[in-house]
């Protein structure tokens, strides 16, 4: 992932003005996924050897993760994954065992999220392996959009934060599992949308410190996060490490951050119980543009596996 300002710059450079989009497009570039008028959503995510994984990674984990992180974007809009297209760039000669392992993991990941692979393209790579998945999904209710966050909303997150970070830093077993095979709460986004409990959500792929300002910028709001309310796993609590940098600075959580009216607090706890998911209120939406972590500075985002340069 390039530094955040570079990503924003590339995306701004490429995004056509909203007025230039055809009427079938409700939301274009800038949310977790594009949203069409017929309720389809579309997203694409890419993983790069030497950036998102390295030789220590099992190829099946890479395949499964590629499916799951795309499904996480689809579900963050409130949609259910349906279809996928894969593009693979492979060095010559092809490492067949690696590709077979990757394909097995991709099948597992697609099965776990209920999406069918309908298209594929393979090209030769001049460097390492690059895999890119486009995923489609279907909404059954109004989409959850970053731009819908409103001043006065509560901020919630699902699950626990910082586990993949701890796994990366210390090889803690649960954390390594979270890093290698994320388990995004795919039922949550569609349920929030169906029950009308939230209008704005985003999945945490780059860490709360990077992702929450993106959500706030899309809505023209700010946010205040209460560090003591950030959910931590028993493993992270027991590690002795300061949990905050892990919880907000690394990413790969693939949990949802979402907004809700304060009056829906009990309904959200009931939904969490129904889905078997921990849901935690972690702060509130404020007048913009500041996004603050009460009593702390936001840690700088961490890089993934260091690459050349």
Q: Distance of CA 216 to CAs 12, 100, 150, 278, 298, Å? A: 17, 41, 9, 23, 15
| Binds a second copy (CB under 8 A): choice among 39, 112, 132, 218 | 132
Name residues whose C-beta falls within 8 Å of residue 298's C-beta, 6 or more positions apart in sequence.
209, 248, 249, 291
Q: For a second copy, which is the closer residue by CB, 89 or 259? A: 89
Examine residue 292 and tell whether it contacts a second copy (CB under 8 A): no
Please state the φ and ψ torsions of residue 72, each to the nearest 5 degrees.
-60, -40
DSSP structure class, residue 91: -
Q: Binding to a second copy by residue 56, rule CB under 8 A?
A: no
**Can you say whether the dihedral through the CA atoms of 67, 219, 300, 245 is positive or negative?**
negative
Nearer to a second copy, 129 or 285 (CB): 129
Q: Which of residues 13-32 bind a second copy (CB under 8 A)?
A: 13-16, 20-22, 24-25, 28-29
Cβ at position 164, least distance to a second copy in Å? 17
Query: By CB under 8 A, is residue 6 in contact with a second copy?
Result: yes
Contact between 37 and a second copy per CB under 8 A: no
Residue 120, judged by CB atoms within 10 A of its CB (0-12, 13-18, 19+), counts as: exposed
CA distance 243 to 300: 14
- Residue 179 in the binding site for a second copy (CB under 8 A): no
- Which member of 47, 71, 202, 208 binds a second copy (CB under 8 A)? 47
The correct pick among 39, 57, 58, 91 for binding a second copy (CB under 8 A) is 91
Residue 183 CA to residue 253 CA, distance in Å, equals 9
In the bound state with a second copy, the residue whose beta carbon lies nearer, of 96 and 295, is 96
CB of 179 to a second copy, least distance (A): 17
For residues 111 to 130, the per-residue mask of contacts with a second copy, x marking binding by CB under 8 A and - elsewhere, is: -----xxxxxxxxxxxxx-x
Residue 133 or 221: the one with the smaller Cβ distance to a second copy is 133
Cβ atoms of residues 195 and 142 within 8 Å: no
Among 89, 160, 165, 286, contact with a second copy (rule: CB under 8 A): 89
Can you spell out the DSSP letters for 168-190?
A: HHH--HHHHHHHHS----TTHHH
Report in angstroms how near the CB of residue 200 gets to a second copy at its nearest.
Answer: 19
Q: Identify whether the C-beta of residue 132 lies closer than 8 Å to the C-beta of residue 123.
A: no
Binding mask 68-87 for a second copy (x = CB under 8 A): --------------xx-xxx
Contact status: 46 vs a second copy (CB under 8 A): yes
| Residues ≥6 apart with Cβ < 8 Å to 255 | 157, 158, 159, 160, 161, 184, 185, 203, 204
Asked if residue 293 binds a second copy (CB under 8 A), the reply is: no
């Amino acid at each position: 992932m390039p530094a955040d300002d570079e990503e924003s710059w590339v995306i701004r450079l490429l995004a056509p003005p909203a007025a230039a989009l055809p009427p079938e497009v409700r939301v274009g570039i800038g949310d977790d996924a594009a949203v069409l008028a017929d309720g389809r959503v579309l997203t694409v995510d890419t993983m790069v050897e030497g950036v998102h994984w390295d030789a220590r990674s099992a190829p099946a984990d890479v395949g499964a993760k590629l499916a799951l992180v795309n499904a996480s974007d689809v579900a963050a809009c409130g949609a259910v994954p349906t279809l996928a297209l894969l593009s693979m760039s492979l060095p010559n000669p092809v490492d067949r065992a690696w590709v077979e392992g990757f394909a097995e993991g991709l099948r597992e990941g697609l099965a776990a999220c209920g999406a069918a692979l309908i298209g594929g393209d393979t090209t030769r790579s001049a460097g390492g392996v690059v895999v890119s998945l486009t995923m489609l999904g279907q909404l059954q209710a109004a989409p959850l959009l970053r731009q819908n966050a409103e001043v006065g909303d509560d901020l919630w997150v699902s699950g626990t934060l910082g586990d993949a970070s701890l796994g990366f830093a210390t090889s803690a077993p649960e954390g390594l599992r979270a890093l290698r095979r994320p388990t995004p709460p795919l039922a949550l986004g569609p349920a929030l949308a169906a029950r009308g409990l939230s209008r704005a959500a985003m999945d945490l792929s780059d860490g709360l410190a990077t992702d929450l300002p993106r959500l706030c910028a899309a809505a023209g709001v700010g946010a205040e996060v209460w560090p003591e309310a950030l959910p931590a796993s028993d493993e992270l609590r027991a590690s002795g490490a300061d949990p905050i940098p892990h919880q907000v600075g690394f990413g790969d959580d693939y949990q949802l951050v979402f907004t809700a009216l304060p009056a829906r607090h009990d309904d959200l706890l009931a939904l969490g119980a129904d889905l078997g998911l921990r849901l935690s209120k972690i702060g509130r939406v404020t007048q913009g543009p500041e996004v603050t972590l009460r009593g702390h500075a936001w840690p700088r985002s961490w890089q993934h596996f260091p690459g050349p340069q």
